[in-house]
Chains A and B, each alone.
Chain A
Amino acid sequence: DTEVTQTPKHLVMGMTNKKSLKCEQHMGHRAMYWYKQKAKKPPELMFVYSYEKLSINESVPSRFSPECPNSSLLNLHLHALQPEDSALYLCASSQWRGETQYFGPGTRLLVL
């Protein structure tokens, strides 16, 4: 089983809202990732967690706040987003950092 799940599938939020994206995997993977993807572009890495600790932050604005409550869950907390933050947000996981990554279906975010 190589399944990564993400909720919600779609999200519409205003610029003053606070929302969270959730990602879950039960493959025993110890590395989890957040990516942002604009239409017709490849995914762009945002954050990497390894053994539930943040190991890479790709200079992401503080209005995006990741959290890894346990080895199976990864959250992305959103606050005061801008319309240009509208995108497909992808979660991925791998056995360890540097191993093959498996992506979830993504959350389509629209910021109004």
Chain B
Amino acid sequence: GQQLNQSPQSMFIQEGEDVSMNCTSSSIFNTWLWYKQDPGEGPVLLIALYKAGELTSNGRLTAQFGITRKDSFLNISASIPSDVGIYFCAGQKAFGANSKLTFGKGITLSVRP
């Protein structure tokens, strides 16, 4: 099935640095979601975006819903060791029937102390 494009597969940053992750698609989505997953745990919702152009913050995290509705980005500022994990973007095309989540492949973030 369709997947969203997330790359690179892995990112390595120094503690205190900012990092930005993109998620792109060839088709339009009505909702963009960003999840973080720690090893052996379920994905935790970080930010949900519902409107094209929307910019939303959650602490050190900022995410935007692209104007074209085909992309989204997530920024993490002043990274800390607990930011380590896999970051998945997910898009949803419609509400109600047939509104499945489409996931990106995920980006594994490593933070060097």
Contact = CB atoms under 8 A, between A and B. Distances in A.
Contacts of A40: 86, 106, 108
A100 B34 CA distance: 11
B40 A106 contact: yes
Given A56-B100, A99-B95, A100-B48, A105 B105 contact: no
Contacts of A43: 43, 103
Contact of B96 (A2, A42, A97, A104): A97
Interface residues of A, number: 25
Contacts, number: 58
B28 interface: no
**Of B101, B104, B108, most A-chain CB atoms within 10 Å:** B101
Interface of B: 3, 31, 33, 35, 40-45, 48, 86, 88, 92, 94-97, 99-101, 103-106, 108
